[in-house]
Amino acid sequence: MSKNSVAGVLLDRNLEKHLDYEIPDEMQGRIKIGSRVEVFVRNALCKGTVAILKQASEFNIRPLHRLIDEHSLSEPLWQLAHWMSRYYCTPLQKALKCMTPPNVRREVKQKTRILVALDLTREEALKLCSELRRNETKQALVLEKILASEKPPLLASLLEELKISRSAVETLVKKKALRLIETKESDLDDAEFFPSHPKILNSEQAACLMEIEKSLDLGTFQTHLLFGVTGSGKTEVYLQAIQRALDLGKSALLLVPEIALTSQTIERFRARFGLKLAVLHHRRSLGERSAAWEALKTGEVKIAIGARSAIFCPAKNLGLILIDEEHDSSYKQSEEMPTYHARDIAVMRGKLENATVVLGSATPSLDSYANALGGKYRLGILSTRATLASQPTMRIVDMKRALDKVGGFSHFSPELIEGMLERVEKGEQTLLLLNRRGYRRMQICSECRYIAKCPHCDLTLTYHKEVNLLRCHLCDYQTLLLRECPSCKGHSQMEFRGFGTEHVEKSLRALFPQIRTLRMDRDTTREKKSHEELFKQFRAHKADVLIGTQMIAKGFHFPSVTLVGILNADAALQIPDFRSSESLFQLIAQASGRAGRSDLKGEVILQTFLPDHPLLHLAASQNYTAFYRKEIDERRQFSFPPFCRLVKVVFSGPDSTETERTAMNFRMALVNCAPSDTEILPVLPAGHPKIKERYRFQFLIKTKAILPIAERLETLRQNRAFSKSIQMLIDIDPTATFF
């Protein structure tokens, strides 16, 4: 072996330690830290990432089999992976997995499509078509179809429509009458958009943009918090900041919290830049993601848009990172390690890339706002709406009095019904927000009060009327409706309690058949392009009312929406979590921001059984600073973030007793080695104590700094002294402490 010929490879498998392989002569000088390679493990080929380069070993070792990608990870991404491994108490192999998504690991290539085009002049084609009609009717049909088409049709579509085989087309190709054009498949190529131009900014927008452009021009790391009320024109600031980054030869990355927002964002960005965009989220095919990944890595595309995991994209010369709705909890990965938050990763990546980071929100997270007030972030404020539109008025409706008026149960107060009918008459639109999907929340025995629960999870089954099944929202278990109580075997009827978006839609249609409705929740958006279709239908005014869960409250711009109804907002106040008030305030404020975004006056009707609750009045007045002062005082009093750092350690296993005992033993071991400024709370059952046949126990850690406790946790994790059937998850900076 040559003297510099050993590569330590971290495999894509769940193996934390690297394995050593000889670097063959033909790969010398091409293998780098972060290169993707293929190696033999026993007799099977396995892919991995080069983690170490070192001197030759005295032992005989197997050579690398294949170099897949010489420049897979840039130096900043490699440093980011190491930081994630330390900060989030996770093996480096798992951190690298975030940066090598499935399309990269499997080497998936983008699908191609074949177009059929004329290889003759139109006159020559018409003459040939006339000759072919006598004996070769199928070939004549093909030519006729292509002559009638405005642009070259897809080969697959042509064959399917004409009900013919490919041989007719191939014969015409041999005759040099047609030619086949192979192109990369992308659903963005056919997207419709109308060119737009930069808008004139108001004084607040201009001031915020100037600060962002200063950071971009200097090429130094700086984080900006863009705190702008809904409709204040944050997107226009984003667009003009991206233009400055492009002018400087840099690339830009925009994260959005919901896939539903991507189609709207793509449309705006295509209209402004007229460039190909790299779109990254899990609803796109692996081939589409591979093409976007490669285009970003080579610098062919300089603008990336995506959901949480897009923060790891290989954008070349990254200069600007934008996190829209930075407060949103969907940026946090809580189900598996590393439990990263895309907003925090964005800040760290910006530091490593010397990039400018912009966090935007109408309701910033308390942590980000505290960082801005403390000088860690630069604060930019947009206090008014960018257009002539004013903030919507909000009415709090006491549902106890409303139900007394109607003499029974109803989803809709008289005020909300009147408002919806008025909007229908005017040709305006309404949003109805209920943060619970399904038809009925539970099926319960009227005699013994038995509640139908999932046999695999400790969760009530929700009734979905469209499929006529009870369904678990944790594991997707489904079963038929109960005809009799399995507990008391009585003859009393099984009743339904509670309701979801499906029930609201059915009720509205029953009351007012003339009102056209659409529903947007997880049940109606399972298909690949369902978000885009629903968005386009509602924007095209094919419905008067859009009913949905929290996904409809985030960032949508519907100019004709002048009324927002918020149903059963009280439910969120019952969650025993220190962030529940913050989450509810943000949800109400974001939902309210969907109303009256154009010249039409907006109104919000908030239905509640707790009309005097102070949080609802703060949300109704859209007074974020007053809410922040109240909430920050409570956080300070009880020592919750941002006055401490939190870690949640969760254990899950098939046996309840063993899992709880393991959690308690691990906690005690941690107590014996934890830093002195650390408080370790007792072990408790998780908010969902059982999921998919696994029992869950957890405890919280309060500390001043993450890295010291993270080192202790990592040491104990590596020296695990408990059964392999029990899994441990370390959630750093959890967004939810109860569930």
- The topology (CATH level 3) of 645-732 is Alpha-Beta Plaits (3.30.70)
Answer yes or no: is pLDDT of 390 > 80.
no
Confidence tier at 416 by pLDDT (50, 70, 90): very high
pLDDT at residue 324, rounded to an integer? 94
Q: What is the 3-state secondary structure (H, E, C) of 520-545?
A: ECCCCCCCCCHHHHHHHHHHCCCCCE
pLDDT at residue 368, rounded to an integer? 97
Tell which wins on pLDDT, 587 or 275.
Answer: 587
- Listed ranges 269-278, 525-534, 690-699; the one with the highest mean pLDDT: 690-699
Find tokens 């959890």 and name the residue: 734
CATH code that applies to domain 203-382: 3.40.50.300
Rounded to an integer, the average pLDDT of 166-187 is 82
Using DSSP, state whether 480 is helix, strand or coil: coil
Measured between alpha carbons, how far is 188 from 267 in angstroms, rounded to an integer? Answer: 10
Measured between alpha carbons, how far is 728 from 739 in angstroms, rounded to an integer? Answer: 15
| DSSP class per residue in 160-189 | HHHT--THHHHHHHHTTSEEEEEEE--TTT
H-helix segments, 325-374: 342-353, 366-373
Tell which wins on pLDDT, 269 or 695.
Answer: 695
- Listed ranges 17-21, 173-177, 319-323, 454-458; the one with the highest mean pLDDT: 319-323
Tell which wins on pLDDT, 376 or 136.
Answer: 376
Using DSSP, state whether 38 is helix, strand or coil: strand
Does residue 598 contact residue 559 with C-beta atoms inside 8 Å? yes
The pTM of this model reads 0.88
Confidence tier at 345 by pLDDT (50, 70, 90): very high
pLDDT at residue 57, rounded to an integer? 65
Rounded to an integer, the average pLDDT of 94-117 is 83
Rounded to an integer, the average pLDDT of 282-303 is 86
pLDDT at residue 414, rounded to an integer? 93
Counting every residue, how long is the chain? Answer: 739
Answer yes or no: is pLDDT of 46 > 80.
yes
pLDDT at residue 194, rounded to an integer? 66
Tell which wins on pLDDT, 136 or 519.
Answer: 519
Encode pLDDT of 681-708 as tens digits.
999 999 999 999 999 999 999 999 999 9
In the chain, domain spans: 6-105, 112-184, 203-382, 393-439+499-633, 645-732
Rounded to an integer, the average pLDDT of 433-458 is 91
Residue 717 tokens, joined: 């994790």
Which positions ≥6 away from 387 have C-beta within 8 Å? 231, 233, 597, 598, 599
Dihedral (CA of 557, 537, 239, 286) sign? positive
pLDDT at residue 725, rounded to an integer? 93
Percent of the chain with pLDDT over 70: 96
pLDDT at residue 186, rounded to an integer? 58
Helix (H) or strand (E) segment spanning residue 429: strand 429-433
pLDDT at residue 71, rounded to an integer? 80
Which positions ≥6 away from 209 have C-beta within 8 Å? 201, 237, 240, 241
pLDDT at residue 1, rounded to an integer? 42
Measured between alpha carbons, how far is 588 from 593 in angstroms, rounded to an integer? Answer: 9
pLDDT at residue 261, rounded to an integer? 65
Answer yes or no: is pLDDT of 197 > 90.
no
The angle that helices 92-99 and 75-87 make with each other, rounded to 10 degrees, is 130
The rounded mean pLDDT for the chain is 90
Which superfamily is assigned to 6-105 in CATH? PriA, 3(prime) DNA-binding domain (3.40.1440.60)
Does domain 393-439+499-633 sit in CATH 3.40.50.300? yes
Measured between alpha carbons, how far is 697 from 712 in angstroms, rounded to an integer? Answer: 20
pLDDT at residue 58, rounded to an integer? 64
Helix (H) or strand (E) segment spanning residue 112: strand 112-118
- Listed ranges 223-227, 471-475, 559-563; the one with the highest mean pLDDT: 223-227
- Same fold flag, 393-439+499-633 and 645-732: no
Tell which wins on pLDDT, 535 or 648.
Answer: 648
